[in-house]
Amino acid sequence: MGNPYRGGYPPLGDFMLNRNEAQTRRDLIDPKLFLKGWTADLIKVERTAGGIDIIDGKPQQRKGKCDYLLCLPGKIGESPLPIAILEAKRESSSPALGLKQSKEYSKKFNVPFAFSTNGHLFVEYDEQTEKISKDIRIENFPTPQELKERFENYKGIKLDSEELKPLFVRYKGGEANRRYYQDAAIRATLLEIAQGRKRILLSLATGTGKTYMAKQLLYKIAQAGHLRRALFLCDRDELRTNGIRHMQDAFGDDAQIITTSNPHPNARVLVSTYQTLNVTDQDSEPVFWKENFTPNYFSHIIIDECHRSAWNKWSVVLTDNPDAIQIGLTATPRLIKGGKSGSKGKEDDEHITANNFDYFGDPVYEYTITQGQDDGYLAACEVVRRTVDLDKTGLTKKDIEDKSAIDPYTGELIKPDEIEDKYTAHQYERSLLLDDRKKSMSQDLFDLFLDTGGPLQKTIIFCATDYHAEQIAIRLNNIYIDWCKEQGKKPCEYYVFKCTEANEADNAKDLIPELRASINSHFIATTVDLLSTGVDIPNLQNVVFFKYVESPISFYQMVGRGTRIGEPLGSKLMFRVYDYTNATRLFGEEFASRSKPSEAETETQKSKRKKIKVLENEFEIQIENSGTAILTKKDGKEVLIPLEEYKKQLAIRLLEEISNVEDLRNRWINYKLRRQLLDMLPGGESAVRLVRLLQNQQKYDLYDVLAELTFGYEPVTRDERVKGFYYKSENWLKEFPADTQEVLKILASQFERGGIEELENETVFDLPEIVKEGGFNALVGLQVEPQQCIQQTKLRLLQ
């Protein structure tokens, strides 16, 4: 017999006085929904990947879900249409208790109706009126037909209309591989198109599968008979390669790459870069584009990474196809802030963002990096901040005059009149080359690698210039070689390599697959901008900033290289950002873009003097540890909180809710109370789990992490708690029959695997060793209820 008490167990003293959530769903909600026409095929339970946790060195993913995702039926062979979220709470709860959660889910799943119920009454939040209903008997819950009519009146379109046919087309390859937010974004796009909108913007974080979504969008549109000819436009060869792979999966040979020798005029779906079409800033006239593609040649255009294009020459693709459905994909947050006021990076970002929103309007769907991390679809981010003392002060002409300063290209000594009066950190490695700085930063980074698992970590280092990237590669290689000799190890080939567009020794495009896939070479790539976007390296462990970054858009793209969760999926828990230039200040601030881009050009900077190189052993460089930080969310914004500060905030917030460790323990053994507790903490459960990882406390339940942080209790490992349970509970266990004792001991032993949640696993009573002792029936017929035995087991494990 399986465990009927899955999910939240009632707190002590409440046993059998009312139904818990699982029983409320089974006994009250499910039967009444069925009578109102909500059959099993119209009710989905969408699951997210869940945040990733490491238990005893192995990755485990937690599952997230909503209670009920209600769908409207399609015709035979069509996909049902999600329409509403219904959150269920236990029978004794207020019917409105789950409404806040339901409203949040309705935004995530892009459905217009949000409900909450306790099995007797329900309440509703109406997106159209923004009002909350009074309590209503669940017998009066709306039928599928009633919600369909309300939806059609709200949106002003009939679900069986020709315009909405793509909405009901099943996914290419089935529904198993798509994620809930991808489905939500695709539905939002198709609904906007059906209502007559031609310009659409989607904003989803790097690593969330925007190219997959583009494929499915075009496939659904084509299957509905609405696609004449489509263009997928991008600005990098890697993006083009990824794009054609997806498009040919859906369209076969009817999808082709445009080349200068063959524009493939007969293909239904074309994939191209801006460069091939002659529509970049470097092209005086878009000759190839004009010669091969007449006005309104395309019925649908999807622009990948539309934030990168700067709205210059390439916009002719859109203006030449005014009747086409035009969809922009971006990984950049809708509102961002950062960079020095008046700087070129900041003004460029404002210009691009303003143009995007002026042209496309607000995004129809957004999914941020922190949402992806909370759901477990993106890797968690630890930020290690470092400060170079020379960068804080800058250098004057006097500081340089008595040093070994030369022209880096001729080796000739620099004359005093060729030295500028003042150099700031932003000029380092651009106009002032500092060998001591490169040497010290490279050594410090290598030492950090040694402290976090060893030198063989897949890493991208963003450098200021091609020359800077080359020099960093040389220095890190030499440091690695020396280390191998000291350790008696054989060095790997191509441990570190330069990967830039100006790479003369190798074709940079040929090096990227090595960085991605090789397990014996090509561990560290030094680059400038080449690897900042369009490069998928799922197992990348580190992103390093050796360059100063002013553009928040570029910064998010660079950080996005590390957010993928590995191959196989879920094998990478987190990645690190090593920040030597305060680039992470650009996380999560906001600016409101101008409604119209400014036409005024920024003042041209004074022409630079020749580059100066100061040789080694001239400056004594000190690199300071500026702390570790956690990327989390606060008041709806992405924020970076130093680890120690976060721990303080966590303890303060916890103390606002809990007065002592006994209170924490009693709440922790109750599933619902524990979930509420974790959800209200800054950053939620994912951030707390990351703290556990950073403190090397993976062997502890989160209860012990919080008890130590908040109340100073010495943490106890999970295996120690199980051993303690056996002897501390000996007298209590003797009160039960032998088979019951064995079942409770085996149940307690599951705590060692993954903590308190293992005792609440819906299949725990199906374990062979428990079945052998009688399974759940061994807890039935005692003087105490089965739930009380389970609760007492959990409580005694934490004592």
Question: Residue 119: which CATH number?
Answer: 3.90.1570.30
Task: Give the residue, 206 or 225, on which the prediction is more confident.
Answer: 225
The reply to whether 576 and 645 lie within a common domain is: no
Answer whether residue 575 is part of any domain: yes
Q: Of 711, 741, 767, which residue sits at a domain end?
A: 711
Q: How confident is the model at residue 514 (pLDDT cuts 50, 70, 90)?
A: confident
**Res 633 pLDDT > 90:** no
The reply to whether 110 and 37 lie within a common domain is: yes
The reply to whether 110 and 223 lie within a common domain is: no
CA distance 274 to 303: 10
Answer whether residue 435 is part of any domain: no
Rounded to 5 degrees, φ, ψ at 202 are -120, 130
CA distance 632 to 588: 9
Burial letters 257-288, b for 16+ CB under 10 A, else e: bbeeeebbeebbbbbbbbbbbbbbeebeebeb
**Res 548 pLDDT > 80:** yes
Q: Minimum mean pLDDT among 166-170, 601-605, 645-649: which range?
A: 601-605
Measured CA to CA in angstroms, residue 665 lies from 659, 705, 711, 795 at distances of 11, 12, 12, 7
Measured CA to CA in angstroms, residue 351 lies from 29, 312, 345, 354, 378 at distances of 52, 11, 10, 5, 29
What is the model's pLDDT at position 161?
94
What tokens appear for 197 in the block?
């909108």
**Res 766 pLDDT > 90:** no
Q: Of 543, 558, 584, which residue sits at a domain end?
A: 584
The predicted-structure confidence for 583-600, as pLDDT tens digits, reads as follows 988 886 432 222 233 333
Contact 95, 123 (CB under 8 A): yes
The predicted-structure confidence for 637-696, as pLDDT tens digits, reads as follows 777 888 878 888 888 888 888 888 889 999 999 988 998 898 888 877 877 888 888 888
Averaged pLDDT for residues 543-569 = 85
CA distance 18 to 9: 11
Measured CA to CA in angstroms, residue 617 lies from 427, 436, 608 at distances of 20, 6, 26
The reply to whether 205 and 293 lie within a common domain is: yes
CA distance 347 to 310: 11
CA distance 663 to 785: 23
CA distance 234 to 195: 27
At residue 32, the 3 state secondary structure works out as helix
The bridge status of strand 325-330 relative to strand 199-204 is: parallel
Q: Of 696, 711, 726, which residue sits at a domain end?
A: 711
What is the model's pLDDT at position 50?
62
Tell me the CATH number at 285: 3.40.50.300
CA distance 52 to 374: 9
In 10 A of CB 588, how many CB atoms?
A: 25
Answer whether residue 624 is part of any domain: no
Answer whether residue 629 is part of any domain: no
The reply to whether 186 and 98 lie within a common domain is: no
In 10 A of CB 520, how many CB atoms?
A: 10
Angle subtended by helix axes 643-657 and 684-694, to nearest 10: 130
The reply to whether 211 and 293 lie within a common domain is: yes
What tokens appear for 672 in the block?
């619902």
Contact 441, 546 (CB under 8 A): yes
**Res 270 pLDDT > 90:** yes
Q: In what side-by-side order are the strands of the sheet with 432-434?
A: 405-406, 612-614, 432-434
CA distance 21 to 10: 9
The reply to whether 151 and 166 lie within a common domain is: no
Angle subtended by helix axes 738-749 and 786-797, to nearest 10: 50
Q: How confident is the model at residue 310 (pLDDT cuts 50, 70, 90)?
A: very low
The bridge status of strand 542-545 relative to strand 459-462 is: parallel
Answer whether residue 740 is part of any domain: yes
The reply to whether 648 and 734 lie within a common domain is: no
Closest CA to 255 of 343, 340, 172: 172
Averaged pLDDT for residues 351-366 = 74
Task: Give the residue, 353 or 248, on which the prediction is more confident.
Answer: 248
Q: Strand locations in 209-274, DSSP E?
A: 230-234, 255-257, 269-273
The reply to whether 199 and 247 lie within a common domain is: yes
The bridge status of strand 230-234 relative to strand 300-303 is: parallel
- Residue 408: cis peptide before it, omega within 30 degrees of 0: no
Closest CA to 61 of 569, 514, 533: 569
Angle subtended by helix axes 671-680 and 643-657, to nearest 10: 130
The reply to whether 122 and 177 lie within a common domain is: no
Contact 363, 334 (CB under 8 A): yes
What is the model's pLDDT at position 74?
82
Question: Residue 764 sits in which domain range?
Answer: 718-797
**Does an H or E element contain 556, and which?**
helix 552-559
Answer whether residue 422 is part of any domain: no
Strand partners, 367: 204
What is the model's pLDDT at position 496?
95
What is the model's pLDDT at position 334?
46
Q: CB burial class (10 A; 0-12, 13-18, 19+) of residue 589?
A: middle
CA distance 611 to 617: 19
At residue 111, the 3 state secondary structure works out as coil
The predicted-structure confidence for 30-56, as pLDDT tens digits, reads as follows 999 999 999 887 888 776 666 554 444
The reply to whether 497 and 549 lie within a common domain is: yes
Contact 637, 590 (CB under 8 A): yes
Answer whether residue 263 is part of any domain: yes
Q: How many separate domains does the chain show? A: 5
At residue 134, the 3 state secondary structure works out as coil
Q: How confident is the model at residue 157 (pLDDT cuts 50, 70, 90)?
A: very high
CA distance 10 to 18: 9
Answer whether residue 429 is part of any domain: no
The reply to whether 447 and 344 lie within a common domain is: no
Q: How confident is the model at residue 29 (pLDDT cuts 50, 70, 90)?
A: very high
Contact 165, 193 (CB under 8 A): no
Q: How confident is the model at residue 563 (pLDDT cuts 50, 70, 90)?
A: confident
Rounded to 5 degrees, φ, ψ at 297 are -65, -35
Torsion 744-750-751-757 (CA) sign? negative
Residue with tokens 């000759």: 287
Q: Minimum mean pLDDT among 79-88, 305-314, 404-413, 610-619: which range?
A: 305-314
